[in-house]
Amino acid sequence: MTYVIREASPASDGRVGYSGPMSGYISPEHHPAFEEYCETIFELAEDGLSVIQARIAERLDVSRPAVSEMIRRLSDDGLVITDDSGLITLTPDGETLAQTMVRRHRLAERFLTDVLDLSWAEAHHEAGKWEHVISPRVEDAIVERLGDPTTCPHGNPIPGSDYVEPDLIALAEAGHDADLVITRIPEELEFTPGLLEFLEENQVLPGQTARVLAASPDGTTTLEVDDKVVGISAFTAERILVIQPSPATVDSPA
C-alpha cells in the first residue's frame, strides 16, 4: 500500500577539492575549538556558501562576538584569512587541519552506522566527538575495516579517498516523472533539526532510487521512494543532490 509522508519545512534558509591522502598526516596540537571552526569553514565552502562570521555563528549556534574572537585567534595562528569584504578562507595549514577533521568525522560516521548500526542522527552526533580523538593509527584501522570508503553515510566525500564526483543536480531541478538516484545529503542539511531522522526513516538515502511525482508551487517535491510517497520541502529539495540518468541511458537495451 502506498501512503504519503511530508517533511516539515525548516525555519531558515560549488564545492572545494581535496588535496590527496590524509592518513599519514599527524595534526599538530590544536584546541578542539580550532579544529571545529576550521572544519565548519571547510564544510560551508564545500556546500557552495560564502563563509562569513554570521554563517559560522548560525552553524555552530554561538554568538557573533564569540565567532569574531575565534576568527581573530585562528588568524593569529595562521589558519584563516579574512578579506576586506569579511569573506573568510582557510590558509594551506587551515585547509590541511580542516580536511583531517572532516576525514575523521566522516570515517567515524561510516564506522558508527556500518559496524555499530547507529542511526544517521546518532552517528553524526557521536562522530563530532570522535573526530577530535582519532589517532592516525586508529584512522588507518577504520579505513582497513571499512574497505577504504569514499563517502560518509550521507554521500559526502571523504577527503583523501579515491572519490570521483559524478554529474549531480539538485533534486529540485529534476523533471516531473523523472527517475533518479539519491546521491548526496550535504552537510547543511545534517544540521537541520529532525531532518536526518526524517530522511532515514523514509529511505531518502544515498543509492536509493526514486521518482519525482510532482513539484508544487511552494517548491515541495513529491517523491515515490520504496513504495512511499514523500514530500520534500523546497529548502531540502534545493540541496539534496541526485543523479538523473539521461533518457538514452534509461531506454538503451542491456
Q: Which domains does the chain have, with CATH numbers?
A: 3-12+167-251 (2.30.30.90), 32-146 (1.10.10.10)
pLDDT the model gives residue 91? 97
Set of cell numbers at residue 116:
555499530
Distances (CA, A) of 190 to 53, 124, 165, 196, 204: 20, 8, 20, 6, 13
Q: Phi first, then psi: what are they for 57, rounded to 5°?
A: -60, -40
pLDDT the model gives residue 253? 46
Could you tell me how far CA 67 lies from the centroid of its own chain? 22
Q: What percent of the residues of the chain are helix, what percent strand, and what percent coil, each to the nearest 5?
A: 40, 15, 45
Inter-residue contact 142 to 130 (CB < 8 Å):
no
pLDDT the model gives residue 176? 84
Burial class (CB within 10 angstroms; exposed 0-12, middle 13-18, buried 19+) of 199: buried
pLDDT the model gives residue 84? 95
pLDDT the model gives residue 29? 63
Q: Render the burial of 163-186: b for 16+ CB within 10 Å, e for the rest.
A: eeeeebeebbebeeebbbebbbbb
Q: Which of 77, 75, 57, 74 is nearest to 66 (CA)?
A: 57
Burial class (CB within 10 angstroms; exposed 0-12, middle 13-18, buried 19+) of 209: middle
CA 183 to CA 165: how far, in whole Å? 10
pLDDT the model gives residue 177? 87
Q: Residue-wise pLDDT tens for the chain (254 aa)?
A: 443 445 544 443 333 334 444 444 445 567 899 999 999 999 999 999 999 999 999 999 999 999 999 999 999 999 999 999 999 999 999 999 999 999 999 999 999 999 999 999 899 999 999 999 999 999 999 999 999 999 999 999 999 999 999 999 999 999 888 899 999 999 999 888 899 999 999 999 999 999 999 999 999 999 999 889 999 999 999 999 999 887 654 444 44
